[in-house]
Structure 1
Amino acid sequence: MIATGAALWAGAAAGESDPASAARAASAQLEQAALDLQGAKAARDRVHALTETVRAYEAGLAAMRDGLRRAATRETMLAHRLRAREGEIAQLIGVLLTIETAPPPVRMLHPQGPLGSARSGMILAEVTPALNTRAERLRHDLEEVHTLRLLQQSAARTLEQGLAGVQEARTGLSQAIADRTDLPRRFAEDPVRTAILISSTETLDGFASGLSQIAAGGEIADSQADISASKGQIALPVQGVLLHKAGEADAAGVTRSGLVVAARPRALVTSPTPATIRYRGPLLDLGNVIILEPQPDTLFILSGLAEVYGEAGQVIPEDTPVGLMGGAVPENGAILSLSGDGTGTERSETLYIEVREGGSPVDPETWFRTDKDG
């Protein structure tokens, strides 16, 4: 059975709180993803199975990075705390050694006689639990530092296997999509008409308004699709965080009609609803673009992908992979070296999402739910 990455990550996040446990849970996620990959190769619906496997790997790698970051942060904090208490620790060890090595008769004698010995015994009885508590706390901290260091050392092999596994799953997914022949089609794309439209338009507006011209014979079958009931509740097509809302200026002062979402390199992009692929490929200065039509007179435009899947005219189910983000996945050593960096710089790729209704752009947040980070 293929386990979803989202479910695995939710379980780990809910059940594990300390850094070591979180990293171990992430390792288990990656091991499960490797098993899922073996099952996906023989699955009847390989596209669906491999999609879930890629997500499981992505979730596991993200969780591993988070666990290692937390482990590194915790180890640094403990190391600082132990260094700051070096004097106290030395004094504590000295006291404990003195108590341990003094012969019993000497411990029982006191210059003031039996009364002094009794008083000393009472004081020692009160002090000993506190000393034991401090010693136990010190032992726990030292053991935790040792555990965290071993965990970070053992993470190298797990990460290497996970990075190789997700690459294999992505390659398999790309091939499975190329081999798929069972999808219905609303039209057949005319490459000549498409090329003419691209060369004759200078804006996304112009291209979107001329999409009906790219079909062979100019005929596109009618669609009765209606997703209006999902308005405002549709998940983003990529796991990421919202960088800019519609109409919000970016660092260069540029405002756009759509959303900008930050995602990790090579993140999987899926169709958020059932839809017709109206166009896929390079367009203007937007990089690779895929234009989806979930219902008549409504377009979801996704740009900034490195790879796009599918063919224009295909009607695809919800959650179908439509492409991959660009960028280079950090190598094993880079992930380990950045495990203490919590700046979020690993989300280096951006996906632009624009929604058009009746030929005009509308705020994508009227359709997409953006209150959850992926």
Structure 2
Amino acid sequence: MAKTRHLLGISGGKDSAALAIYLNDKYPQFDFEYYFCDTGKELDETYQLINNLESYLGKSIKKLENPDIDSTGDNPFDFYYKSFRGYLPSPQARWCTALMKLKPFENFVNGDDAVSYVGIRGDEEREGYISKEANIQSIFPFRKNIWSSDVMTKVFQPENFEMVIDYFQSYYSGNDLDKLVDIFNEPISFDKNHKNEAEKILKRKANSSLDLGIARFNRGVFDFLKTTKYPLAKEIDYVLLENEDVLVRDDIFRILRESGVGVPEYYEKVEFEVDGQKGEYARSRSGCYFCFFQQKIEWVWLYEQHPDLFKKAMAYESEDDLFTWIPNETLKELIQPERIKQIKLGHINRTNKTKTKSSPYLLDILEGTERDGCNTCFL
């Protein structure tokens, strides 16, 4: 029987880097395979982070390549950009995600049973990347609930109730077992017409069950998985079942700094002044420097901190075809002095309204867009 592979993608972002460090230090028994999907349009800080990580981990991070692209002399983005005849990727047409991230990853897995470790934090509400391939299972070590939503759907399927509860009886008894049964008995419909409501109920069921004890809930789920075709069904035991750590943004920055790997410079806030008012900006994400999920203040950051890259981003736009990175606004229009002033003042006002004394990170202000976008790019 082929061995299950344990894979961890390095995006160049803070969360995936911290996850690699955390798991390496806490669970040295894992034989992780680290990989990086290079679009050819990353910031220099991304490559520096990867070099630092390789030194810390004592292991190489495999760059996933496409031989068909390599033979053309183009980098991945330019190859596909030409293939789409200048049609830029967008939230509605994320060909960049599909072709430069997911396709290379699934080719790398090559049909093997694999567990993919994803750095969604305990203070985030979003769900991470879940492959449609049955041989790839996602695990989220930073969260209270390490299991993906597809696993939770199977666990809480009403038709699986008797079988699942039978497994859980090995870990629950008395009042706790009664409480667990009540949680499972809460009505839920997985009809596609009630998707949003089902997601809310599913999350509530999972959280309520975990409140009765994280480790024993995990053990019950793990026993149930033995009846499925998930990659972890092959494992005799799994050390993360006992892990009750929940890591948030402050923990991520601490891990990066204490390890010596360091925080990518683009996360560090930079001061600016406009109309006598002082503000700060930074970048909220890893990934391509021209990512269309950026806030407009981040585009201004790119223009002022990396003018050469901003100029290259402008060159991809076509005003005649309405192919622009930002809907209804070209980068040429965005960098007009009055427009930059307007964007900066708006950012200062939003920051003053939402900034809290509990966190020193500007990223807390930018987190709205940090949670948007491609989960495989920005972890």
| TM-score computed with the length of structure 2 as normaliser | 0.26
Larger Rg: 1
More strand by share: 1
Highest relative contact order (Cα 8 Å, sep 6+), 1 or 2?
Answer: 2
| TM-score computed with the length of structure 1 as normaliser | 0.26
